[in-house]
Amino acid sequence: MGKLICPSIMCADFGHLEQVVQELDQAGADIFHMDFMDGHFVPNFGLGLQDFEFVRKATKKLVDVHLMIQNPGRYVEKFADLGADIIYIHPEADIHPARALAVIRKKNKKAGLAINLGTALETVAELFPLIDYLMVMTVNPGFSGQKYLDYVDQKIERVIPYAQKHHFKVMVDGATARSQK
């Protein structure tokens, strides 16, 4: 499996966003990662639709949307119509995650599932045939600058056979640095 570079726009200098996007584009970023938070599913607020629209217009590279919001299924069509290439939902945040994933695919976008630290793979494995990407969180979602939690390494290793069986890509999200042992 090849590695992808997916810089988080949440960490960008918004006073110079166009320059940041251009520099990341030229540096070889594969996917622009955009976090949307509602202050309910996670205790923080993230990007707005205008931020997404700006980044989408500024690059031809893939742009993903990480919906850390309650009831993400209500918004997948909106982001698909705005040009998101990959849309991640958290299964804990949507009463019908399979329906939300189906809508993403119906809109000809890549369906992504994001799983929190406390989400066991076995509780979401039935959704794996419906996804193109699985994002494993390595921190509690909602804030940038957190330290990588080493115990997630085991979950990442355990997800590889599922990814091979169901043909989805594994993404890892969160953390500025690995903790020192």
**Count of CB atoms situated within 10 Å of the CB of 137:** 24
From the candidates 25, 35, 51, 94, give the one annotated as an active-site residue.
Answer: 35
From the candidates 51, 64, 94, 173, give the one annotated as an active-site residue.
Answer: 173
Active site residue 35: yes
Give the closest residue to 41 by CA, choosing from 85, 89, 8, 104: 89
Q: Give the sheet arrangement for strand 86-89, strand by strand.
A: 31-37, 62-68, 86-89, 110-115, 133-137, 169-173
Active site residue 150: no
d(CA 108, CA 114): 19
List residues with catalytic annotation. 35, 173
